Amino acid sequence: MSTHVAVAVPASRAGFLRRRRRSYRLLTVPALLVVAAVIVFPWLFTVYMSAFDWKIGEAARFVGLGNYVGLATNQRFLEAIVRTFYFTLLAVVFPLVLGLVAALIFHRQFRGRGVLRAIFTMPMMATPVAVALVWTMMFHPQQGVLNYLLTLVGLPPSLWVYSPTWVIPSLVIVEVWHWTPLVMLIVLGGLAALPTEPYESARLDGATEWQLFRYITLPLILPFLVVAAVIRTIDAVKAFDTIYVISQGGPGTASETINLYLYLQAFAFYNVGNASAVVVVFFAIIVALALLLLHVRERTRWVA
Amino acid sequence: MSDRTQSESPDVLRRRLLGAGAGVAAMGLLPGALAPTARAQGTFDWKRFKGEKIEVFLVKSPRGDLLSRYHKEFEDLTGIEVGSEMIPEQQQRQKAVIEFNSGNPSFDVIALSYHVQKRQFARNNWLTDLRPYISDAAMAAPDLDFADFAKGGLNYAVEPDGRVMSLPLNLDPWVVYYNKELFAGKGVAYPRTFAEMIDAAAKLNDPGKGISGFVGRGLKNANVPVWTSFLLGYGGSFIDAKGKLLTDTPEAIEAAKMYQTLLAKSGPPGVAGFNWNESQTLFLQGKAAMWLDGIGFAQPLEDPAKSRIVGKVGYGVMPAGPKQQVSALFGDGEGISGTSKKKGPAWYYLQWASNKTNQTRMLQAAAGAPVRNSAYAAAQQSSDFKAPKEWVDCMLKSAAIAQPGLPVISPVTEFRDVFGVALANMINGADAATELRRATAEFQPVLDKSEKA
């Protein structure tokens, strides 16, 4: 459209650019409309709904910040926040460490590397709900294979997800099994991009393998690890399917994270007003977390 | 059906139904009366709504599957075309709420679970009162025989003010499955009282051999009916006439302590995370002496491909509590949307779905426990009926002493969640009285709000 105008009306170069910029701006309108309709409007509407005491099927009553005040003193919700952080921390740290180790191993040349690497990345391709169902069976305290394996090596059986204390660590095991390969792939990509010169000169200076890793490899792949951490954190904070299928937030409320609490409020109790308030609080937490991670990412960037 | 008299007019039924409002239990005493009148007048015609089309909204379950399979039969009988939608229970309940709230639901007939949806549907007036159809000789089919419906089912279908909002189809009283071999091995008799039940569970519990004296649901929400089964036997109930919760009374606390004792002391490790399927697995393996749950599990228990205890399963009626002997009851039925424009054809569908043939089929397919008493005798005559006679006896005895296993309130799911958490905490050592008081205090405002709004 703009070129058409430009050809039809010859003008000074500055005027042409101004007109072109204006017509380009017009082109962003469809995208803006879509964003407004599918992101901004629902978001604003959620904030609006959070100001009401509203259960589907009943009349809505304006309560202002009442829902937020209720949440601030709601022990179950506060515990859910703590649990979400606990779960997220474990579900980020372990895949990062194990994924890094796996990447370092698979970065070396050895026979069968391709096949083994393919096998190692397989869990990532499985559907979360199917994975959760399989693990549920393995966790079963009487019939599960995990307790059978424990007794084979002479250890006492565990209650796994059936124990209030162990349910979150057990759920993290599933996350680690499922998502360590993703971290490995990201770090492996980083390793492949590393220059070889620093290693050669360090070897000439007599550096040990550990020193090579600590002072060359680790600083160089740190940006990749941060990317992996960002992706893992986002995934872990929003984890729902695995937890819902395996423990439904139980025993009692021992594995009830914000997502599970939110699901109950919105889709089991139909407390739309309260659920909206939970969403807004959850959103604030995620934004804060994202800003923190972006900050860390900027700090770890390669300074070329 | 042979006891039908030719004399009663539709008005008699109407009056009886109105009377039932005062004492709902009276429904069970209704003689099977009205149908022949209709025939005598000769005005009832299955083909009356020929050419119309209705939409039915069912729950994906063996019962929903069975009805859908025979929709052709209904279409041939009436000339009414049936469009049906069938989705899983949780989603069906959510969709029902949303559709009814839209004011113009897409279905004419809807399946509902009484223990969850009865109060919600009634409060919002979502269904059609069926009394005008029942008392209209031109509309009530000749074999709509109310005396044949079990009392528990009619209790569920009739509102306190006498309106009949649905027809019941399936009843699910809770029973005790027990492993006869384990009982015989320890010389223990099937318990007749709660005290004997606790005692038997303790005697049969043998952790060294991996055998639990008792198994049942510990998972929050799912576990509430186990506790209410005991609560009813202790003479407790859920709410008083003023809407105050009775869930922290001495009876409720005693029932909770019994729950705690059975599951924590005689139950398997990790039972706080067990739903019915984990409980069933354990019982199927011969690793549990008693299992308290709904009556619908005879089929897997007697299936040699799944069960190690075929032929060794006892089907026991719930033992008597200190105050009364009660089997906690759950059930479902079908109603007509209040805004439906096809109420006549929809009513025909309801009558067909609950007729004796379909009820017998349900039992033969082990898809549920029919509301019609006659279905039991009919099914047993059939050669391919596999359920043991003991199961049928247990069903009939349990249905006779059944009471709703959950309070008839709107926020049932929240009730189950709040009290479910309390019960799960008890299994893990929390004090029963403290937990119940906390749960009662937490739920009372929710209940108050649901009845005020």
- pLDDT tens digits, one per residue of B76-120: 999 999 999 999 888 899 899 989 988 889 999 999 999 999 999
* Domain shared by B446 and B320, yes or no: yes
Task: Quickly state the pLDDT bin for A234 (edges 50, 70, 90).
Answer: confident
Burial class (CB in 10 A: 0-12, 13-18, 19+), B208: exposed
Residues 103-132 of B with CB under 8 A from A: 120, 124
Structure tokens of B436?
A: 């119940």
Q: Which of B209, B217, B416, B421 to mutate to test the interface with A (most CBs of A within 10 A)?
A: B421
Q: Which of B119, B120, B275, B417 to mutate to test the interface with A (most CBs of A within 10 A)?
A: B417
Task: Among B94, B425, B450, select the one facing A252 at the smallest CB separation.
Answer: B425
How many CA within 13 A on the CB side of residue B137?
A: 17
Residues 355-414 of B with CB under 8 A from A: 411, 413-414
For residue A142, which residues of chain B lie inside 8 Å, CB to CB?
Answer: 210, 268-270, 282, 285, 287
Domain spans in chain A, listed from the N-terminal domain onward? 2-37, 74-299
- pLDDT above 90: residue B389: no
* Domain shared by B73 and B162, yes or no: yes
Closest CA to B336 of B324, B325, B349: B349
For residue A267, which residues of chain B lie inside 8 Å, CB to CB?
Answer: 94
State the Cα–Cα distance between residues B418 and B67, nearest whole angstrom: 35
- B183 near B286, Cβ under 8 Å? no
On whether residue B33 sits in a domain, the answer given is yes
The predicted pLDDT at position B13 comes to 44
Burial class (CB in 10 A: 0-12, 13-18, 19+), B186: middle
The predicted pLDDT at position B29 comes to 38
Q: Average per-residue pLDDT in chain A? A: 88
Q: B78 — phi, psi (to 5°)?
A: -110, -20
Helices (H) and strands (E) counted in chain A, each on its own, are 16, 2
Cβ distance of B413 and A58 shorter than 8 Å: no
* Domain shared by B411 and B367, yes or no: no
Closest CA to A160 of B273, B260, B281: B273
Q: B372 — phi, psi (to 5°)?
A: -75, 125
* Domain shared by B341 and B434, yes or no: no
Structure tokens of B373?
A: 């008493």
For residue B285, which residues of chain A lie inside 8 Å, CB to CB?
Answer: 142-143
Structure tokens of A176?
A: 């680690």
* Domain shared by B270 and B365, yes or no: no
Residue of B nearest to A266 (CA): B94
Q: Average per-residue pLDDT in chain B? A: 87
Minimum mean pLDDT among A170-184, B10-24, B40-54, B374-388: which range?
B10-24
- Cis link prior to A95 (omega < 30° from 0)? no
* CA-to-CA dists, residue B446 to A74, B181, B243, B443, B453, angstroms: 14, 46, 11, 5, 11
**Crossing angle of helices B343-353 and B71-78, rounded to 10°:** 130
The predicted pLDDT at position B439 comes to 96
Query: Strand, coil or helix: what is A63?
Result: coil
Shortest CA gap B319–chain A (Å)? 28
Minimum mean pLDDT among A51-60, A199-208, B323-332: which range?
A51-60
On whether residue B4 sits in a domain, the answer given is no
Task: Quickly state the pLDDT bin for B42 (edges 50, 70, 90).
Answer: low
CB atoms within 10 A of CB B161: 10
* Domain shared by B188 and B293, yes or no: yes
DSSP class of A267: I
- Enclosing H/E stretch for A232: helix A218-237
Cβ distance of A251 and B272 shorter than 8 Å: yes
The predicted pLDDT at position A11 comes to 57
Range of the domain at B366: 10-172+329-402
On whether residue B355 sits in a domain, the answer given is yes
Task: Quickly state the pLDDT bin for B28 (edges 50, 70, 90).
Answer: very low
The predicted pLDDT at position A293 comes to 85
Q: Give the long-range contacts of residues A18-23, CB within 8 A, separation 24 or more.
A: none
* Domain shared by B162 and B118, yes or no: yes
Give chain B's domain count: 2
Q: B130 — phi, psi (to 5°)?
A: -90, -5
For residue A55, which residues of chain B lie inside 8 Å, CB to CB?
Answer: 449-450, 453
Structure tokens of A181?
A: 């390969």
On whether residue B225 sits in a domain, the answer given is yes
The predicted pLDDT at position B72 comes to 95
Query: pLDDT tens digit string along B356-375?
Result: 999 999 888 877 889 998 88
Does this model's pTM top 0.95? My answer is: no
Partnered with residue B283 across adjacent β-strands are none
Region A228-240: what's the mean pLDDT? 90
Q: Give the long-range contacts of residues A289-292, CB within 8 A, separation 24 or more.
A: A289/A233, A289/A237, A290/A234
State the Cα–Cα distance between residues A51 and A67, nearest whole angstrom: 7
Q: B320 — phi, psi (to 5°)?
A: -80, 140
* Domain shared by B15 and B43, yes or no: yes
* Domain shared by B193 and B310, yes or no: yes
The predicted pLDDT at position B344 comes to 94
E strand residue ranges, A159-270: none
DSSP class of B234: T
- B395 near B145, Cβ under 8 Å? no
* Domain shared by B290 and B398, yes or no: no
Q: What is the CA radius of gyration of chain B?
A: 22
Between these two residues, B108 and A234, which has the higher pLDDT value? B108
**A74-299: CATH homologous superfamily?**
MetI-like (1.10.3720.10)
DSSP class of A126: S
CB atoms within 10 A of CB B80: 24
DSSP class of B204: H
Minimum mean pLDDT among A40-49, A243-252, B33-42: which range?
B33-42
Cβ distance of B272 and A247 shorter than 8 Å: no
On whether residue B3 sits in a domain, the answer given is no
The predicted pLDDT at position B234 comes to 96
Task: Quickly state the pLDDT bin for A6 (edges 50, 70, 90).
Answer: very low
Q: Between A and B, how many CB-CB pairs are < 8 A?
A: 81
Shortest CA gap A110–chain B (Å)? 44
Cβ distance of B97 and A160 shorter than 8 Å: no
CATH classification of the domain holding B42: 3.40.190.10
Shortest CA gap A116–chain B (Å)? 36
* Domain shared by B286 and B376, yes or no: no
The predicted pLDDT at position B32 comes to 40
Q: What is the CA radius of gyration of chain A?
A: 26
Euclidean distance between the first and the last CA atom of chain A, given in angstroms as a whole number: 41
DSSP class of B380: H
State the Cα–Cα distance between residues B42 and A193, nearest whole angstrom: 89
Cβ distance of B287 and A253 shorter than 8 Å: no
Query: Strand, coil or helix: what is B55?
Result: strand
The predicted pLDDT at position B346 comes to 96
